[in-house]
Structure 1
Amino acid sequence: MTTNAWAPTWPEAVINRYLTVGGAHLDLSSHTFWTDYTYQGRHHIGHRRKVDGFLWRCHGCGQQGGVGFYREPYLPNERQKALDDSNEHASACRAMPKPGIN
């Protein structure tokens, strides 16, 4: 297995990094935020609490991934959805990397 000498160091919160079709990076990161949803998911409302969920961001087109109309961060139990959504975007995004960002 070879390593890529030009690959930048991953930021600490990054869980997965994808290479888009256009050559930019997409980072899936852990993300701490406040929510009213319970551990059971989005249909269950409880008291406001702090959770460690997920977000992804494409460094080519700038799109940020999330759930629903408002692109809310993924809940802790939505890790697989975050992985699937970020991989799907990376496989379709043709935006070139922005200079100095990747």
Structure 2
Amino acid sequence: MSVVARFATLGGATVELQTLKFATRYAHGSRHLGVEEQTVDGIVWDCRGCGTRGTAVHGDPYQAHQRDQATRAANAHAAACRALPTA
């Protein structure tokens, strides 16, 4: 995983937006699941204070085309989270 952005929480911890690869049967642009699993680029965010992991639908990472959505969600979490940094 590679950190592409960090946001400060109210409690002083950080929320990290990270890229990763993951396996899915969902094909971007399709309304249906594909038969074959494929590896795609994705994005998740992790709060280093409260431990929350931000994902898209059904716990899957956001897909690369959803980066703006993931960024907004990470920033919104950071703006509300009061957890202190973990040791």
Q: How many residues align?
A: 86
Return structure 1 stretches of 4+ with deviation > 3 angstroms.
none
Deviation at 1:45, TM superposition (A): 1.8
**In the alignment, does 2:40 pair up with 1:45?**
no
**In the alignment, does 2:62 pair up with 1:81?**
no
CA distance in 1, matches of 2:82, 2:25: 36
Q: How do 1:21-36 and structure 2 match up within 5 A?
A: 21-36=10-25
Deviation at 1:39, TM superposition (A): 2.2
Q: Percentage identity across aligned positions?
A: 38
Q: Show structure 1 runs of 5+ residues with no match.
A: 1-11
Root mean square deviation, CA, Å: 1.4
Pick the structure with greater CA Rg. Answer: 1
Q: Which has the higher strand share?
A: 2
What secondary structure is seen at the aligned counterpart in 1 of 2:46? strand
Match of 2:4 in 1: 15
Deviation at 1:49, TM superposition (A): 0.5
TM-score (norm 2): 0.90
Match of 1:3 in 2: none
Match of 1:98 in 2: 86
Q: Which has the higher helix share?
A: 2
CA distance in 1, matches of 2:51, 2:14: 10
